Amino acid sequence: MNIRLSSLDDISAIIAIEQATNETPWTKEQFISSMEAGHYSNVMELKKSVIGFSIFSLIVPEAHLLNIALLHEHQGKGLGRNLLEHTAFQSKTLGAKILFLEVRVSNKKAIRLYESMGFVKDAIRANYYSGKLKEDALLMSLKL
């Protein structure tokens, strides 16, 4: 398993993961715009295949996890935790004191992971997620 900074060469793999794991996936344009905006983007590789990614923005002293995903077949094996730990460490190394994220209130699996890593529940953002069924987001944070 390897985690590295992503490049535009990884866009196709990232989009495939996003579409396979997210009810309202980002578009190719959104990923490119995020990279061009200077957001930090990592990919996780297993046997030279991209299986996950994370993207965060940084305005010191705050980091904001914008997106994180891992292919379903690799979930539940500790790899998502590894990717998130790497992202949190990277944020801290770059000067962040706190890492924020939003998660669907229905995504109990992710919420359990975040809580097990020390994230705390801060607030609910009503109708944060669009799509067929609007859904609230749980705002969580981790002191780094």
Catalytic residue numbers, as ranges:
102, 114
For residues 121 and 112, the answer to whether their CB atoms sit within 8 Å is no
Q: Which helix (H) or strand (E) holds 30?
A: helix 28-36
For residues 101 and 124, the answer to whether their CB atoms sit within 8 Å is no
> Within 13 Å, how many C-alpha atoms sit on residue 121's CB side?
14
Q: What angle do CA 75, 77, 81 make, to 5 degrees?
A: 80
Find how far residue 54's CA is from the centre of its chain: 4
For residues 99 and 93, the answer to whether their CB atoms sit within 8 Å is no
